[in-house]
Amino acid sequence: MATVISGKELSAQLKEEMKAQVATFPEKYGRVPHLVVILVGEDPGSVSYVTGKAKASEVVGIKNTTIRKPDTISEAELLGLIEELNADDTVDGILVQLPLPKHISEDKVIATIAKEKDVDGFHPLNVAALWQKQDCVLPCTPKGIIKMLKRAGVEIKGKRAVVIGRSNIVGLPVSKLLLDENATVTIAHSRTADLPTVTRNAEILVVAIGRPKFVTADMVSEGAVVIDVGVNRDPETGKLCGDVDYAAVEPKASVITPVPGGVGPMTICCLMENTIECFLRKMDKQL
């Protein structure tokens, strides 16, 4: 039986701590942090995640403005909106929910968000700072994963970690954070030759590939720590599921994260943390 790390519980605890911290801000700084989330289109997954971000903001006491735009919005109009928010002194964090419609360049959108307000940690200057070991905003999902590992008492140092997935949002930055914790990291992907041989070597396995039941029991070694970053719909049941065949893998794992209730809630929790961080950087500069 594996230890199941509840991201839901851990994030609830951390949000309570942040709530107490934010409650001291009006007296100290005259206001609370303000996060603006932009959602383009109606994708049900994105709508659900953005709603989760607004709910978490409410719990923590952060001001949240969610701006919804139709998927027909032009790239120029979206970039213009971001510029306005950049210039608005009362806005501390800006997040544009991804993915965006094909006619809008995600790269352009991310680069347009002021680095100081980039609560996602996606801006090229933030990414460069991360890889150069400089002060930066850590991307939410990778940051949440490291917090979960630490909370479960998993020693990362000296371990063989395998990350399946090489996206800018998860695979690459989580690999870098594991490396910084002194794990030895292998980055694998859907084209990796003989993937099961690679993953069976993992003491820590992070899966961010976006395919239901991609990781089967034969790919996991006895006692491995398994972190499931996937959020998919099970094609048979229609229910939310991860990238890991949970029922088959859980008995082999020493530690595992569930979907739902694992990495997802931690992503949102770290977004709250990053918003407070951007707010405090700005306020402390002004003092």
Kindly list the catalytic residues.
53, 97, 120
Q: What is the dihedral of CA 208, 209, 210, 216, to 10 degrees?
A: -90
Q: What is the dihedral of CA 266, 270, 272, 273, to 10 degrees?
A: 140
* CB neighbours of residue 181 within 10 Å: 19
How many whole angstroms separate alpha carbon 287 and alpha carbon 273? 21
How many residues of this chain interact with ligand L34, rule: CB under 6 A? 18
Write each residue from 48 to 87 as x if it is in contact with ligand L34 (CB under 6 A), else as -, in one continuous string. xx--x-----------------------------------
Measured from the CB atom, the residue of 95 and 148 that comes closer to ligand L34 is 95
Binding region for ligand L34 (CB under 6 A) out of 95-103, 175-183, 198-206, 249-257: 95-103
Measured from the CB atom, the residue of 22 and 259 that comes closer to ligand L34 is 259
Least distance to ligand L34 from the beta carbon of 140, Å? 5
Under rule CB under 6 A, residue 47 binds ligand L34 = no
Residues β-bridged to residue 18: none
Least distance to ligand L34 from the beta carbon of 205, Å? 18
Binding region for ligand L34 (CB under 6 A) out of 10-18, 69-77, 262-270, 278-286: 262-270
**Measured CA distances, 112 to 22, 76, 118, 123 (Å):** 28, 11, 10, 8
φ, ψ of residue 240 in degrees (nearest 5): -65, 135
How many whole angstroms separate alpha carbon 136 and alpha carbon 126? 6
Among residues 125, 47, 104, 111, which one has the least CA distance to residue 82?
A: 111
Measured from the CB atom, the residue of 32 and 231 that comes closer to ligand L34 is 231
Under rule CB under 6 A, residue 261 binds ligand L34 = yes
**Measured CA distances, 209 to 175, 212, 224 (Å):** 14, 9, 18
Under rule CB under 6 A, residue 120 binds ligand L34 = yes
Measured from the CB atom, the residue of 22 and 110 that comes closer to ligand L34 is 110
How many whole angstroms separate alpha carbon 261 and alpha carbon 8? 5
**Interface pick for ligand L34 out of 146, 161, 219, 268 (rule CB under 6 A):** 268
Binding region for ligand L34 (CB under 6 A) out of 26-34, 160-168, 182-190, 259-267: 259-267
Under rule CB under 6 A, residue 140 binds ligand L34 = yes
Residue nearest to ligand L34 (CB): 264
Binding region for ligand L34 (CB under 6 A) out of 67-75, 77-85, 96-104, 176-184: 96-104
Under rule CB under 6 A, residue 95 binds ligand L34 = yes
Answer for the pair 198, 224: CB distance below 8 angstroms, yes or no: no
**Measured CA distances, 276 to 214, 249, 284 (Å):** 36, 37, 12
Under rule CB under 6 A, residue 36 binds ligand L34 = no
Under rule CB under 6 A, residue 260 binds ligand L34 = yes
How many whole angstroms separate alpha carbon 149 and alpha carbon 124? 27
Query: Which residues of the shown chain bind ligand L34 in the complex (CB under 6 A)?
Result: 48-49, 52, 95-98, 120, 140, 231, 240, 259-261, 264-265, 267-268
